[in-house]
């Protein structure tokens, strides 16, 4: 889900940031259109429209997630576009698509990848929230959010039915944040990509 959001957001954001003008206006208008709706309500509407299941939940979450990555990639593209090595690439005669592909994606990913791994925890929490509400994967298939919801029926007496899946969700979300921090340290500065 994060990968789909990064892929769509990178295409829209890099093109908007690099080309500017009417292209940027249209791409950011489209992004703002999706950002105008609350994420949970938009995901619920998409999944209720197409049906329940893991595939439709993934589609709904990609639709919800790509606009934030488009904004991030646009900001990175604007920052990178003003660097001297981009001017040198333009003067050497490289096409704009080749400049984006060869000289802008990797430095932009240096900033975006730690955010994406941190965002993986948010995706897990969001999907668990959808399955807690009865959307997402349907029984008899196990899903952490639906396990928490089913465990609430037995909460006073058998409290661990809800606590254990909730604890797993918490541990996985925290672990993804630590992986994101470690990835940022591993990738180092932008000079590794230039």
DSSP 59-100: HHHHHHHHHHHHHHHHHHHHHHHTSHHHHHHHHTT--HHHHI
Give the integer Cα–Cα distance in Å for 39 and 162: 25
Give the integer Cα–Cα distance in Å for 137 and 127: 10
Burial class (CB in 10 A: 0-12, 13-18, 19+), 169: buried
pLDDT at 76: 92
Q: State the pLDDT confidence band at 191, using cuts at 50, 70 and 90.
A: very low
Q: State the pLDDT confidence band at 109, using cuts at 50, 70 and 90.
A: confident
Give the integer Cα–Cα distance in Å for 24 and 83: 19
pLDDT at 188: 62
Q: State the pLDDT confidence band at 187, using cuts at 50, 70 and 90.
A: low
Tokens representing 115? 């955010």
pLDDT at 28: 92
* Pairwise pLDDT comparison (138 vs 129), residue with the higher score: 129
Average of per-residue pLDDT across 141-157: 82
pLDDT at 31: 93
Res. 107: pLDDT tops 60: yes
pLDDT at 74: 93
The average confidence (pLDDT) of the chain is 85
DSSP 192: G
Average of per-residue pLDDT across 112-141: 82
Domain parsing of the chain, residue ranges = 2-192
Note the pTM of the prediction, 2 decimals: 0.80
Average of per-residue pLDDT across 54-73: 90
Helix%, strand%, coil% for the chain, nearest 5 = 80, 0, 20
Give the integer Cα–Cα distance in Å for 121 and 140: 25
CA nearest to 144, candidates 122, 123, 166: 166
Burial class (CB in 10 A: 0-12, 13-18, 19+), 31: buried
What CATH class has 2-192? mainly alpha
Tokens representing 150? 């089913």
Range among 25-34, 39-48, 121-130, 150-159 with highest mean pLDDT value: 25-34
Res. 156: pLDDT tops 50: yes
Res. 114: pLDDT tops 50: yes
Give the integer Cα–Cα distance in Å for 19 and 73: 13
Give the integer Cα–Cα distance in Å for 16 and 22: 9
């Amino acid at each position: 889900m994060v990968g789909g959001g990064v892929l769509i957001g990178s295409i829209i954001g890099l093109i908007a940031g690099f080309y500017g003008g009417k292209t940027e206006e249209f791409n950011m208008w489209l992004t703002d259109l999706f950002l105008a709706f609350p994420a949970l309500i938009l995901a619920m509407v998409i999944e209720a429209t197409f049906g329940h299941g893991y595939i439709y939940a993934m589609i709904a979450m990609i639709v919800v997630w790509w606009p934030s990555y488009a904004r991030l990639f646009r900001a990175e593209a604007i920052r990178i576009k003003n660097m001297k090595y981009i001017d040198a690439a333009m003067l050497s005669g490289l096409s704009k698509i080749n400049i984006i592909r060869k000289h802008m994606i990797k430095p932009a990913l240096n900033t975006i990848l730690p955010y994406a791994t941190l965002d993986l925890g948010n995706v897990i929490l969001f999907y668990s929230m959808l399955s807690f509400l009865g959307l997402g994967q349907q029984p008899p298939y196990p899903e952490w959010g639906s396990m928490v919801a089913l465990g609430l029926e037995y909460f006073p007496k058998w409290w661990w039915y809800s606590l254990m899946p909730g604890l797993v969700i918490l541990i996985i979300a925290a672990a993804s944040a630590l992986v994101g921090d470690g990835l940022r340290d591993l990738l180092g500065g932008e000079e590794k990509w230039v």
